Amino acid sequence: MFPDKVYGASTRVIGDPARTALLLPGRGYNPARPLLHLARKVLLSHDWTVQEIWWDVPGTLDQAAAPGWVAEQTRLALAAEEAPTVLLVGKSLGTLAAPLAAGRGLPAVWITPLLHIEDVSSALTATDAPTLLIGGTADPSWPAGAANRTGLEYLELPGADHGLELRGDAIGSAEFLVRVTAAMEAFVGGLSR
């Protein structure tokens, strides 16, 4: 299903067996990239078990088929978990699991959620589960006002693109990583209480 090791490192780190977080990557944004790596660090600091999902996105996967494919991959990952509490952390393509999370009442952190897709924005508006949205104003997947309309907690980074970076500004981009990490820290800390 999913690899146990990638580049020689385990894709699962054991913490509290009653709480597991699944890291759902983007199409070209794997769990070793900074935003998901820092999410992992935050979760481990709160003693969550963390399972990285390394999926092989079919090259032929189009926009119409992507939601069903992501939902199926997420269902497989969830079926492998025994923890009574599961948190989803997704980046971009991984946020297509938002309808599944909302339907199951799962808490989530959605990084650069695809809010321009109606099924995603509708699911986020409907969910009662604790959810954090993180996006940037220069990302076409984060339409102006869309995060606010969900009624959920969110961090909006001015000028950040879909990678939550500022074009031509490495220091500003690194500062955004700090802000994102702080937001995830506060959110996960609230779930741990």
pLDDT at 3: 81
Q: Do residues 89 and 22 make contact, with C-beta atoms less than 8 angstroms apart?
A: yes
Tens of pLDDT, residue by residue over 161-190, are 999 999 999 999 999 999 999 999 999 999
Question: What are the distances in angstroms from CA 191 to CA 1, 68, 110, 175, 178?
Answer: 29, 29, 15, 25, 20
Distance of CA 169 to the CA centre of its chain: 24
Spatial contact of 48 and 114, defined as CB atoms under 8 Å apart: no
pTM: 0.96
CB–CB of 129/106 below 8 Å?
yes
pLDDT of residue 193: 65
- Give the model's pLDDT for residue 1: 60
CA distances from 135 to 5, 42, 91, 153, 170 (A): 30, 18, 10, 12, 18
Q: Which of 160, 135, 139 is nearest to 148 (CA)?
A: 135
With a cut of 70, list the residues of the chain below it in pLDDT. 1, 193
Say what the pLDDT of residue 7 is: 82
Can you list the domains of the chain with their CATH numbers? 5-192 (3.40.50.1820)
The pLDDT of residue 9: 83
